[in-house]
Homo-oligomer: A and B are copies of this chain.
């Protein structure tokens, strides 16, 4: 039984989630390479120790430097704040250790570019943790589109709307810094979805705005919502909307992809259903099929043999862990690689430029 030692930087929401995913992935996917959770660290030695005890991780590292340097840590998962993604990744990659990095990569396209360089130099597995696109439904949607199930695609609507900035008492840093705003932090998910489902973006226009200049007594200095008009390199038109103040929407990662002969609709609030329309000339029976995910769809069967029995948020993290382990074995990056993650940041940079000029901008210029 081949094993690999995993170290996790960060014990917050996503650090815990990755820890649980690596604990279960070997069993669920019966991976050849079984992960061993070696170490975890937090923002201080004390918090690291608390996380290790709470999650049942073997030991706590004093800080990320110690964790990365630990010889038993053979691969690193970065679930720390965006501001330190780059330096951690560079340090791990310099030691030849594969890296799974939470989205988004760093705080800028420059951060991302540096991480790509470090990854290419190291030549090891690297991956950005865009979990939502890894539901069985969205993986299947990608496959359907690529396979021509709806013909040449000419339009896409892609959204990610939530209302957490309205309904939760958030730490004040959430309201400061472009990287923590909607465009910097939430929009990367639908931008990644746009790239995954539709291919590269040739140009775009953008509106970026703060809806609430103040919330809960805290001044909001970054953006609440962003709306993009996209022209894909394929020629297709698109619209993308992301909002953290969409009152009522809890997990509005949703898309509607229109092709010449059909349409695909998805809303992550019902993540186990994919809606597919295929024109077949029989008007009497025409209609969207509500396809419930099951063993016939990507990565579902590891969780359950019964169709329609459903996967959830945490399963996405497990799938990610499986793909990262597979990449480590193969010694290759896996989609979305750091290079793919960089594309998201170029779209973000182009959006800022387009919004500023009230015109259009090209991601390939950034």
Contact = CB atoms under 8 A, between A and B. Distances in A.
Given A55-B26, A288-B289, A312-B303, A237 B251 contact: no
A27 B317 CA distance: 14
Contacts of A227: 229, 237, 239
6 contacts: A34-B56, A155-B225, A155-B241, A162-B306, A209-B237, A248-B288
A262 interface: yes
Given A1-B56, A295-B283, A307 B251 contact: yes
A63 B364 CA distance: 60
Contacts of A294: 250, 283, 286
A247 B262 contact: yes
Nearest to A159: B157
A290 interface: yes
Contact of A247 (B34, B263, B285, B305): B263
A273 interface: yes
B263 A277 contact: no
Interface stretch (A17-25, A106-114, A329-337): A17-25
Interface of A: 1, 13, 16-17, 19-21, 23-24, 26-28, 30, 34, 53-57, 140, 150-151, 154-155, 157, 162-164, 166-167, 205, 207, 209, 211-212, 225, 227, 229, 231, 237, 239, 241, 243, 245-251, 258-263, 268-273, 276-277, 279, 283-292, 294-297, 303-315, 358-360
- Highest count of chain B CB atoms <10 Å: which of A212, A314, A358: A314
A24 to B, nearest CB: 4
- Highest count of chain B CB atoms <10 Å: which of A19, A30, A155: A155
A260 B54 CA distance: 38
Contact of A284 (B53, B297, B303): B297
A1 B246 CA distance: 42
A320 B122 CA distance: 43
